[in-house]
Amino acid sequence: MPELRSNQWYAGQDRNAYLHRAWMRRGVPGSAFQGRPQIAIANTASDLTPCNNHFNEVAESVRQGVWAAGGVPLNLPVVSIGETQVRPTAMLWRNMAAMAAEEMLRANPIDGVVLLGGCDKTIPALLMAAASVDLPAVVLPGGPMLTGTFRGVPLGCGTDVWRLSEEVRAGTLTEQAFLDSESSMIRSRGHCNTMGTASTMALLAEALGMVLPGTAGIPAPDSRLLARAHDTGRLAVELVERDARPSHLMTTGSFHNAIVALAAIGGSTNAVVHLLAIAGRLGVPLGLTDFDRIGADVPLLVDLQPAGRHLMEDLHRAGGLAAVLREVVDLLDPDARTVSGQPLVAHLTEAQIWDREVIRPRAEPLRPQAGIAVLHGNLAPAGAIIKPAAASPHLLRHRGRAVVFDSVEDFHERIDDPDLDVDADSVLVLRGCGPKGYPGMPEVANLPLPAKLLQQGVRDMVRICDGRMSGTAYGTVVLHVSPEAAAGGPLDRVATGDWIILDVEGRRLDVDVPQEELDRRPPSAAMTERLARPQRGWEQLYVRTVLGADTGADLDFLLGSSGDRVARESH
């Protein structure tokens, strides 16, 4: 075993070593400081992060595993972000959570860490932190909730919120029935049971090699999750003994595998911005176009909401991630390794599909080409993305008149105005929702449709935004348009009535306006007036330093890593 980092605090007979040991004893035997790895459990449990509020129980199983392997477990509460709770948007806090976790991991006498995350931003933030401090680390996803039902029909978290709320606006579902479904939506502990961002990032963390194989996707109430938590605690001690660090595991090949997995499972578009940010911390050369190059021709094999019918409990029952990846094993990097010490592909040989309605065989995909499509054009010089698997096929090639909204508030004020000049062929454009503009890049890109069109039976339209959309959402939505309008991107010069051309097959997004005219137009005064201009605190720092969505929306001074070294003693 390599020299323990924690020895810098605990070894020796001087005053400082005495202080560090004495204050940590409190019932811990003296042997705890004699050559035993100190393992932090970076715990995002919080009652205000409802998807993670069972993590203290899970952490206890991790603790038992660490003790059993000869390590010393240390609960380390870190910043927790409840996707459904925090305002103005959880994405505003991802980088802060990553920075705070990184600094606490570096500042404390620990040798390795278990990253306990679940809700959307917690796993990406923890992986960003682990990549920057580069101590031996393993992710333990908290698992999806069980399937709830309403009137005999399974409910998909998030996805059915969007669907049912639109039916109320269309007049086909009563408001009382909508409210009655609320108590059925969340059946148990755990994160969303659709292929939203939480499920996606848990599965991709395993594809990256950072999760004990076979763990991601186990439902939160399933006792097997506690058994895997124990195993993960044991593994964390082993990782220290092997000196297996995130920079050794999350390689270019690992990100290749994550992109293949993203397409095959029909994962959230949010994974794009998170994977780019994690790669940026590691110095791995990953760009927006890599998602198209690697994932475009990967078939969609998982029939899960929002791209399909089933839910996460079904995916686990049907064989889980391993069964999916075995179908596309020829597309995976064979050398990318996992926390187990073995290549990812070595864990797929025994995997089987147990329900071919949930996981399709390679020869019978849900869609033959399902990867994230990356668009460029005069409306998105630095790129934009769309998830074809969640879009309406007839809208993937479309030309329509722009109906422009300068902010979310402007949208809500006007979208249901019966005099709004909009029809089914129109293109709804929302700007001022990028990282700088909101701030924090909210999940608003899947715009509700105009009520008058819903009442006519319209259920999808082309929508364009510089913000994000929930991984549980669906529709023909172009998002992450870069540069964002608030950073001077051309989206801020589009006018209502301009013709927008979307060509997903050709990977184009254009406004049919001569470039000279577009360049001459001034920025939208109405949008500029609505932009957030924070004067202090985290929001001010964020707006001043955040990068574009096309590179991961990290802060400019957080790119790369600083390692685990702390130069000075505290006394």
Closest CA to 511 of 480, 527, 531, 489: 489
Task: Report whether 487 contacts 383 (CB < 8 A).
Answer: no
b/e sequence 529-549, b meaning 16+ C-beta within 10 Å: ebbbeeeeeebebbbeebbbb
pLDDT at position 222 is 97
Q: How do residues 57-112 score in pLDDT, each as one tens digit?
A: 999 999 999 999 999 999 999 999 998 899 999 999 999 999 999 999 999 999 99
Task: Report whether 362 contacts 328 (CB < 8 A).
Answer: yes
Taking only Cα atoms into account, the Rg of the chain, rounded to an integer number of angstroms, comes to 24
Closest CA to 3 of 261, 11, 77: 11
State both tokens at 134: 């580069």
pLDDT at position 74 is 97
H/E/C letters for each residue in 29-97?
CHHHHCCCCEEEEEECCCCCCHHHCCHHHHHHHHHHHHHHCCCEEEEEECCCCCCCCCCCCCHHHHHHH
Task: Report whether 143 contacts 44 (CB < 8 A).
Answer: no
Task: Report whether 281 contacts 553 (CB < 8 A).
Answer: no
Task: Report whether 63 contacts 99 (CB < 8 A).
Answer: no
State both tokens at 191: 């994160």
One DSSP character per residue, 253-320 reads: HHHHHHHHHHHHHT--THHHHHHHHHHHHHT----HHHHHHHHTTPPB-B-BTTTSSB-HHHHHHHTH
Point out which residues pair with 149 in neighbouring strands.
154
pLDDT at position 164 is 87
Neighbour count for residue 89 (Cβ, 10 Å): 22
Question: What are phi and psi for residue 72, nearest 5 degrees?
Answer: -120, 115
Name the amino acid, one letter, at 438: Y
Count of alpha carbons within 13 angstroms of residue 358, beta-carbon side: 20
Name the amino acid, one letter, at 238: E
pLDDT at position 328 is 98
pLDDT at position 568 is 86
Residue 439: CB partners within 8 Å, gap ≥ 6? 88, 92, 532, 534, 539, 542, 543, 546
- What angle is formed at CA 248 by the lines to CA 246 and CA 251, rounded to 5 degrees? 90
Task: Report whether 306 contacts 313 (CB < 8 A).
Answer: no
SS3 state at 206 = helix
Spans of the chain, pLDDT less than 50: none
pLDDT at position 540 is 95
What single DSSP character describes residue 366?
Answer: S
pLDDT at position 29 is 84
Edge-to-edge strand list for the sheet holding 137-141: 72-77, 38-43, 112-117, 137-141
In the block, tokens 């460029």 appear at 376
State both tokens at 214: 């076979």
- Plot region of 382 (φ>0 → left; ψ -120 to 50 → alpha; else → beta): alpha
Domain ranges for the chain: 9-147+187-347, 148-185, 374-532
Rounded CA-CA distance 42/26 in Å is 21
Task: Report whether 399 contacts 424 (CB < 8 A).
Answer: no
pLDDT at position 150 is 86
Rounded CA-CA distance 460/471 in Å is 17
What single DSSP character describes residue 492?
Answer: G
CATH topology of domain 374-532: Glucose Oxidase; domain 1 (3.50.30)
Task: Report whether 200 contacts 473 (CB < 8 A).
Answer: no
Residue 154: CB partners within 8 Å, gap ≥ 6? 147, 148, 311
Global confidence as pTM: 0.96
Point out which residues pair with 153 in neighbouring strands.
150
b/e sequence 124-160, b meaning 16+ C-beta within 10 Å: bbbbbbbbbbbbbbbbbbbbbbbbbebeeebbbbbbb
pLDDT at position 471 is 75
Q: In Å, how far from its chain's centre is CA 214? A: 19
